[in-house]
């Protein structure tokens, strides 16, 4: 089955979903389990129409039970592979807003080689 057919979204947009992730998306993106669980948490909190989520890092730490440094590393990696995009930078008293991106059409690349 084509991974893109497992994606969700509104108006024909093939947005990354938890279903897509657990059925081959982790491998397609080349992400670890910790990075994947952070992405799932963002997907869970994202607006279904815009794909934008804004949980604080401290909320993710509390909910997921993983270290803040792990959360920060996962967010950086998810940005690097194009799973999320920074929609609006954070500032004092306000969390960074991330947009869950569309399913990539190409396999993830790391250090010049395919990961998938």
**Opening angle at CA 114, ends 96 and 100, nearest 5:** 25
DSSP assigned state of 73: H
Q: What is the pTM of this model?
A: 0.78
Which of 53, 44, 51 minimizes the C-alpha distance to 102? 51
Q: What is the pLDDT of residues 19-47, one digit of tens each?
A: 888 888 888 899 999 999 999 999 999 99
Run of H or E residues at 103: none
CB-CB contact of 60 with 34 (8 Å): no
Tens of pLDDT along the chain (116 residues) come to 444 444 444 444 478 888 888 888 888 899 999 999 999 999 999 999 999 999 999 999 999 999 999 999 999 999 999 999 998 877 787 889 999 998 876 555 554 444 43
b/e 24-48 (16+ beta carbons within 10 angstroms → b):
ebbebbbbeebbbbbbbbbbebbee
């Amino acid at each position: 089955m084509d991974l893109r057919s497992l994606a969700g979204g509104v108006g024909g947009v093939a947005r990354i979903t938890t279903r897509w992730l657990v059925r081959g998306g982790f491998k397609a993106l080349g992400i670890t389990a910790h990075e994947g669980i952070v992405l799932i948490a963002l997907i869970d909190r994202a607006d279904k129409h815009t794909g934008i989520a804004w949980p604080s890092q401290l909320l993710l730490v509390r909910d997921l039970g993983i270290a803040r440094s792990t959360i920060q590393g996962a967010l950086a990696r998810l940005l690097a592979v194009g799973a999320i995009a920074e929609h609006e930078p954070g500032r004092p008293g306000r969390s960074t807003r991330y947009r869950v991106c569309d399913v990539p059409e190409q396999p993830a690349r790391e250090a010049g080689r395919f990961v998938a």
